[in-house]
Chains A and B, each alone.
Chain A
Amino acid sequence: MLIHIGCWVCVVQIHFVILINRQGKVRLTKWYSPYTQKERTKVIRELSGLVLNRGPKLCNFVDWRGLKAVYRRYASLYFCMCIDQDDNELEVLEIIHHYVEVLDRYFGSVCELDLIFNFHKAYYILDEILIAGELQESSKKTVARLIAAQDSLVEAAKEQESSISNIIAQATK
């Protein structure tokens, strides 16, 4: 029995975010309510079973263990967020769409492969959009700018690191 701890120990709007593809492969998971590793595996298994089996013309909400899973399919990927029963489902759908649009802008018509190879970047982008299970940035432009700024920070560090002198310094340490 999975006990949902999240709803009373910590107060969040979105309990977790899961990305799965049509074959049920997980592409990203982010947990805003506390779940143990065991519970996480179970949640993913149950939800992917629920979501993947739904036909195309059905509504985007699934009742699941007293919570509500809001999902949306983009190409081969299902984006799924889990909220409380009495929360606004449409709002969450729009958050999902917002995230996808930002991803799209960042990767340039995003596809599943982008997310597979840049899984950490998908996380960083999600972190700019959601914090503590709440939407924090509603402007796509701002998010893109912030991510670009961080990327350049990382790049600068990498260049320095991979310079020959640095490697020599390392080797002769």
Chain B
Amino acid sequence: MANSSIMDTLFQRSLEDLIKGIRIHSPDASTPISAFLSKAMDEIRKEIKSTDPHTKSTALLKLTYLSSLYGYDMSWAAFHAVEVISYPRFSLKKIGYLSASASFNEDTEVLLLMTNQFRKDLSSPNDFEVSLALQCLSVIGTTDLCRDLCNDLFTLLSSTRSYVKKKAIAVILRVFSKYPDAVRVCFKRLVENLESSDPQAVCSAVGVFCELTLQDPKTYLPLAPEFYRVLLDCRNNWVLIKVLKIFAKLAPLEPRLGRKIVEPICEIMRRTMAKSLLFECIRTVVNGLSDHESAMKLAVSKVKEFLVDDDPNLKYLGLQALSDLTSRHSWAVLENQEAVVKSLSDVDPDIKLASLRLLMAMVSDDNVAEITKVLLNYALKSDPQFCNEILRSILVTCSRNYYEIVFDFDWYVSLLGEMSRIPHCQVGEEIESQLIDIGMRVKDARPELVNVGRDLLIDPALLGNPFLHRILSAAAWVSGEYVEFSRNPIELIEALLQPRTNLLPPSIRAVYIQSAFKILVFFLQSNLWQQDEGASSLIGDRTQGGSSPMIEAQLLEGNSLATYGSMTNSGHRFCAGDSSRSVDENGDEAVARGQPVSLAVSGRETSSQESVVKLLNFIQTAMESLSCSHEVEVQERARNVLGLVQLVKRYVLGCSVLHEENSGKKESETSEIVKLITDLCSEELGPVSVSAQARVPLPDGLTFQEDLSELDTIYHDIQLQPSSFSLGMSRYGDKGFPLTSNGQFKEESESSTKSESLLAEHRQRHGLYYLPSEKDGAASADYPPASGEKVEGDRHDEMNDLVKLTEQSLTVKKKPHRAKPRPIVVKLDEGENFIPTNKLESQNDMLSGAVRDVLLGNEDVSISSYGADPPSKWKGKEKLISDGPLDLRENSVTVESSDIGNPSSRRSKHKAHGKERRQHGHGKNDERREENSRKEKKKSSHHRHSRHKGDGKGGASMAGKAAADAPSDHRKISTVHVRMQVRKK
């Protein structure tokens, strides 16, 4: 045994040997490095069991090396680390602590064995040993350790050895966050250190308070006088930065504080050479003192210096500071707009991004068109990533708050179309949802939407770009849904069924087919049966002469489409059968679909029938290939369309051959069917409130398992922004849901009860596909050529243009006269807040609660709150504190804290009425808090439950479930917190 030990010692590979070995293996050694490392690990495993301290600690050091640089697990060696820590020799102990702080965590069990070792080292006469223990504790301190060592730390806080004291102060931060009750013991001494003559102690203490204040500023407001003194006296930039951070949080809470500190801060800003300190001053002024004009002016002038600096860091930070100012001090941004716009062409993508954000923050309804125009040009020339960043921010800015800044929706819709054609465009999803959203919300924009959709659909080139498929889907849906605004439905059908659509994914093809179906129905309805509907009154004032030129024009158009002939079955060319699609002489388009549109004039009936037959044949050819598709969605829809086509065809052909009288019965049947389908399609889809799901009443007798946690695990990764309209949810526009309160649905309702039931049935079956499928658009032939012809010089010009432009648009503030009023945008969810406010982290609550208690002087209560068994030694300590002369309140009176939380009155209370009363009050408080939290817990679990029930009832879609789930997740978190709180009590 002794032999093997000495052999180990003599022949052990040292850390240096290990490192050398690794370096030899690094390049292209015969044996792979992993083999070498695992061999080294085997050695370490053996050596670490040695009884020789040196061998053991060397092994541990090697292990620490491999763990921290190569990611090897070393949790198995935790006990060995504890052993090495317990060696008396400093060099070995150091290794032990190093490995402990690198590898231990909350769950390391051997930590329980460490308490005494820590206590021993903390009271060591050797400063460096104490320091090792403190250093380690600051990283791995657990609640238990912090509690048990609280008193030792308390002693160190007033140590005369400044080296030890400053570290002890820093560790207090960890202790407070792990074991808030430590505040009652240590807080006063910590505050004392703020006024210590030892600069190191002050530095540490300010650091601790800085972090504490960032978490919860209000609690530390009473300490403002102490911080103020540090601000005035300290000459150490590091400390000043931290004090400034504290004041940036405190100043907004107490206006008088701002007045007091503004002068010293300006003074620092003027004299300091350190950019970090200067930047902190700027941030303090921007965030905390923005009401003080002189300080703001000074800060903005400094920001300007940052912006024109060559150092990209300063430029970036300058932009950041500006972006904090946009909301309330737009003048500051205006002053610097030139620099901002110029940074748009910086080499650094982060800087570009920051300036883009800033620019978007300056956008208002007056200049949105100009700025986006220039940005779009700029996007054409940027690299793909930044290009999409630009597009995305335009989309986000314009859609903010229900398209608040968009007045001219025709412009905006065509802008969306333009964006789709930018070669790098990858924001298909956003554009898709906005196209549909606008369609549903803004009635006035629909004609233009259909127009833009047509242009997209008709361009075969766009089908080749997978990023655009979602946009195409939206375009297809829009064209189908709002087909009544289309000038030429036949053209749309051709576009929707063009051969290149086989490039689309099946889900989007399904949308295409569905849209073609809708258009066909609309077309049939308006072409074949209009005159039966008593619409004849309309025909009355249409003269034959008036309509025929139009038909001719359409014929021409039809011919120009003949290019498609090559891809379509050449036998089927459609010339304008749509004489019926009537734009009447006033240019006044028929608006609602249900309204009878235009009629084939009787003289034209035959030709219109011919065109119908041609169209039907075309559709039939296209669908027949699809009806064998392997995709069920595509197949089923194609078959539906085919069914309709055959039905109608029989009628049309019969009509032309037989006498009308004979086919009378059949005709009425067929027309009845088509009419029903038309009604069904004319049901208007509206936006759906996010709360729709919650409004579904719970059916009787519906029970669920108690524990629905598995649902959480199923859906937890489906994220939905609760505040936005999810398209998936619009499926619930189903008749089955009581959404009529939205008003959107009231408008229709003329459809017969028969058609309603048919509609309900249909939507139930196919509703799933209505919205999500609408995202693809086809494009026109002028697919934009890849940029690149433009040279750098152009870019410069562009830049200048943008500078000029923003100058104009930002400075001219008067509202231009708008030709037309802003269209109505349907909003449903205003004022409703669906995001439950997240609960404050309970640890923090407890911490600030404890701090408040101490600051308000009732630390004695703490003992009572421990119940009957507070550690007896603590009582002694407590007495020590309260007997001490260090009532910090006394100090704070000097500065204007008398109005802060009214501490003076509390203080007098404290002195006058003795402790009993407060103690009582506190106890009660505790009780109440506990009760509240219990109630809350109950409530929240109840909420969750009911949510899930709602889900189940809806029984419908994932999206709905996820939407309802999102809030309940929050609830779950809060429940956990509440539970934690309760347990802690």
Taking CB atoms, residues of chain A closer than 8 Å to B80 are none
- A158 to B203: give the CA distance in the assembly, Å: 35
Cα(A57)–Cα(B208), bound, Å? 35
Chain A 86-143 interface residues, beta-carbon cutoff 8 Å to B? 88-91, 93-94, 116-117, 119-120, 123-124, 127, 131-132, 134-138
- Which single member of B177, B207, B843 contacts A134 (CB below 8 Å)? B207
Instruction: Report the minimal beta-carbon distance from A54 to chain B, rounded to whole angstroms.
Output: 9
Q: How far is the CA of A44 from the CA of B19 in the complex (A)?
A: 20
Interface string of A12-50 (1 = CB under 8 A from B): 110000000000001111111010110011001000000
Among listed B87-95, B608-616, B773-781, B918-926, interface-contacting one: B87-95
Does A150 have its Cβ within 8 Å of any Cβ on chain B? yes
B312: which of A26, A59, A161, A171 is its contact (CB, 8 Å)? A59
A170 lies within 8 A of chain B by Cβ: yes
Which of A131, A149, A150, A158 is close to B134, meaning CB atoms less than 8 Å apart?
A131
* A170 in contact with B9 (CB, 8 Å): yes
A9 within 8 A of B: yes
CB distance from B717 to the nearest CB of A (A): 9
Residue from B90, B178, B279, B843 within 8 A of A8 (CB atoms): B843
**B54, closest chain A residue (CB):** A161
A173 touches B2 (CB 8 A): yes
Cross-chain contact A59 with B68 (CB below 8 angstroms) = no
- Measured CB to CB, the closest approach of chain A to B512, in angstroms, equals 36
Contact of A136 among B139, B170, B280, B313 (CB under 8 A): B170
Pick from B9, B16, B134, B350: contact of A59, CB below 8 A: B350
Contact indicator A132/B170 (Cβ below 8 Å): yes
Which A residues touch B313, using CB under 8 A?
59-61, 89-90, 93
Contact B170–A131 (Cβ < 8 Å): yes
Among residues of B, the one whose C-beta sits closest to the C-beta of A172 is: B2
Q: Which residue of B lies closest to A132 (CB)?
A: B138
A129 → chain B closest CB, angstroms: 11
A157 touches B90 (CB 8 A): yes
A75, CB-defined interface residue at 8 Å? no
Q: Are B134 and A157 in contact (CB under 8 A)?
A: no
**Alpha-carbon distance A63/B348, docked complex (angstroms):** 13
In whole angstroms, how far apart are the Cα atoms of A135 and B208 in the complex? 11
The residues of A that contact B64 with a CB separation of less than 8 Å are 120
Contact residues in B for A66 (Cβ distance below 8 Å): none
Which of A8, A29, A91, A146: most chain B CB closer than 10 A? A91
Q: Does A3 contact B (CB under 8 A)?
A: no
A10 interface neighbour in B2, B90, B95, B178, Cβ under 8 Å? B178
A171 and B126 alpha carbons, distance in the complex (Å)? 30
User: In the bound complex, do residue B128 and residue A153 qualify as a contact, i.e. CB atoms below 8 Å apart?
Assistant: yes
Is the CB of B637 closer than 8 A to any CB of chain A?
no
The yes or no answer to A2 lying at the interface (CB within 8 A) is no
Chain A residues whose C-beta falls within 8 Å of the C-beta of B90 in the assembled complex: 150, 153-154, 157
A77 to B717, CA, bound (A): 38
Residues of A close to B975: CB separation below 8 A: none
Known contacts A93-B313, A123-B98; A171 and B2 CB within 8 A of each other: yes
Decide: A91 and B276 in contact? CB cutoff 8 A. Answer: yes
Given contacts A31-B139, A138-B236, A173-B2, contact A55 B347 (CB under 8 A): yes
Q: Which 4 residue pairs spanning A and B have beta carbons closest together?
A: A90-B276, A132-B138, A59-B312, A154-B91
> Which of A28, A61, A132 has its CB near the most chain B CB atoms (within 10 A)?
A132
Interface centre among A26, A28, A135 (most CB of B within 10 A): A135
Partner of B351, one of A59, A63, A146: A59
Q: Are B279 and A59 in contact (CB under 8 A)?
A: no
Q: Please report the C-alpha to C-alpha distance between residue A135 and residue B283 in the assembled complex, in whole angstroms.
A: 20
| Contact in complex: A136, B166 (CB < 8 Å) | yes
Query: Can you identify 13 A-B contacts, CB atoms within 8 angstroms?
Result: A8-B843, A8-B844, A10-B174, A12-B173, A31-B102, A36-B105, A37-B73, A58-B349, A60-B312, A88-B279, A94-B274, A137-B200, A157-B89
Residues in B whose Cβ lies below 8 Å from that of A116? 19, 23
Smallest Cβ distance from A160 to chain B, in angstroms?
9
Cα A83 to Cα B208 in complex, Å, equals 16
Tell me how many residues of A have a C-beta within 8 Å of chain B. Answer: 60
The answer to whether A11 and B317 touch across the interface, beta carbons within 8 angstroms, is no
**Complex Cα gap A85–B173 (Å):** 20
- The verdict on B661 contacting chain A, using a C-beta distance below 8 Å, is no
A170 vs B15: C-alpha distance when bound (angstroms): 22
| A29 CA / B75 CA spacing, docked (Å) | 17
A57–B347 CB distance below 8 A: yes
Bound CA span A11–B98, Å: 21
B71 contacts A58, C-beta separation under 8 Å: no
Contacts of A134 in B (CB 8 A): 170, 173, 204, 207-208, 211
> Smallest Cβ distance from B37 to chain A, in angstroms?
14
Of chain B, the residue at the smallest CB distance from A70 is B313
Asked whether, in the complex, the Cβ of A132 is within 8 Å of the Cβ of B2, the reply is no
Interface mask (B1-34 → A, CB under 8 Å = 1, otherwise 0): 0100110010000011001000100000000000
A62 close to B (CB within 8 Å): yes
B331 at the interface (CB under 8 A from A): no
Given contacts A31-B139, A88-B279, whether A158 and B91 have CB atoms under 8 Å apart is: yes
**Which of B71, B73, B167, B315 has most A Cβ within 10 Å?**
B71
A153/B238 in contact, CB under 8 A: no
Contact with B along A70-85 (1 / 0, CB 8 A): 0000000000000000
Whether the Cβ atoms of B65 and A138 lie closer than 8 Å is no
On whether A9 and B843 interact (CB within 8 A), knowing A36-B105, A58-B350, A120-B61, the answer reads yes
- Closest B residue, CB atoms, query A146: B163
Asked whether any CB of chain A lies closer than 8 Å to the CB of B171, the reply is: yes
B52 within 8 A of A: yes
Q: A61-B350, A138-B238 are in contact. List 15 more A-B contacts (CB 8 A).
A: A10-B178, A11-B212, A41-B71, A58-B350, A131-B134, A131-B135, A131-B171, A134-B173, A134-B207, A138-B236, A146-B163, A150-B94, A153-B91, A153-B128, A157-B91
Of A34, A36, A59, A117, the residue contacting B348 (CB under 8 A) is A59
Contacts of A62 in B (CB 8 A): 350
A140-172 toward B: CB 8 Å interface, digit per residue (1/0)?
000000100110011001100100000100111
Q: Is the CB of B91 within 8 A of A9?
A: no
Contact present for B280 and A88 (CB under 8 Å)? yes
Q: Is the CB of A94 within 8 A of B128?
A: no
Contact flag A117-B211 (CB < 8 Å), given A88-B276, A136-B166: no
* Cβ-based interface call for B928 (8 A): no
Nearest Cβ on chain A to B149's Cβ, whole angstroms: 15
Please, how many angstroms separate the alpha-carbon atoms of A60 and B350 in the complex? 10
Cα A8 to Cα B138 with chains together (Å): 16
Does B819 belong to the interface (CB within 8 Å)? Answer: no
Closest to B349 in A: A58
Bound complex: CA of A42 vs CA of B348, how far in Å?
25
